[in-house]
Amino acid sequence: MVQAMINTTKFWCPGCDDLHTVSHDLWQVRDFIFGLTIQPSILVYERQKFINEDLEGEALFDPSNITQSPRCHSFVTDGKIQFLGDSTHALANQTVDIPALPDWLKGGF
């Protein structure tokens, strides 16, 4: 569900369909009986990203290989992600359980 590394915690965000990482130097992170809690809120700004990072040269930077990630603003409390209304993805204003990491990410840290 959550991957803890030295001074960072990573979790899968179903709203962004992407991995979010928080630094223990900047956030308070607790993983008690009730699940992961991170304070204060997490704000991930919109950014351009590659659809296929394995491409090379001009193909990597071709406009058809570039997409825009959503803005994601959330609280993580007791193993649930509460997406705030200023998020730009489909889960804005909803609360969901933190999902398991995708299989392709497990053990990849």
Q: What contacts 48, CB < 8 A, 6 or more positions away?
A: 66, 67, 68, 69
pLDDT of residue 107: 64
User: pLDDT per residue over 50-69, tens digit each?
Assistant: 888 889 989 998 989 888 88
Average pLDDT, the chain: 87
Helix (H, G, I), strand (E, B), or coil: what is residue 1?
Answer: coil
The residue type of 105 is: L
Summarize pLDDT for 31-46 with one digit per residue, the tens: 867 889 999 999 999 8
Predicted model pTM = 0.77
